[in-house]
Structure 1
């Protein structure tokens, strides 16, 4: 995880330089700068710094992975990588119900929003519990 921590550290350093530069460049006029963009850049800097600290702390506690060692061979990274779920129709139904909810809000049809929420609850339960029953049950 050290490599990931370094990537995020470089991004943090870049954003630390860019945020004040952006504020300075946009403050050239009489308005006093673009506070929206500056605020967004500052918040992005803080979020990337938070990820950097998280990865850095966990990299110290973990043993080095093959990607982090200079003497590692390609074969060191072989083996099972994790669980990858098979095909699923539930994300389609979750996205469809979200689209129904958004159309209901945009059109001002609250009854359509309520129907979308009810169907969304069913679709979300299906997505969460799909590996507890049927063909892919654990």
Structure 2
């Protein structure tokens, strides 16, 4: 959760793992207008929360929904496996990216490492096969 525009660039990048980002809406938020940035499945969950009146706290404060492109998502166990294959400690991951048919891991220290998507497709969530 960021509260000023200067922090936007600090949060760029996606970690292609399942996590409950929308739970942040459950916190006490002292803002009147919120923007949510997320993958297509997150945007769908946000929309369903609103349409079906799931009593999600702060849902009425969400004024902007910004969807980002996503090819695949990986369970945490799969991220651990990918990091292992690339010899990167999970706690040393700054960000991840999918680009030009490759999955990239950017360590906090050191050069980015990558693996072809076709080598890890079996590790992706089945729900992400569009």
Give the TM-score normalised by the residue count of structure 2: 0.23
More helix by share: 1
Q: Which has the larger radius of gyration?
A: 1
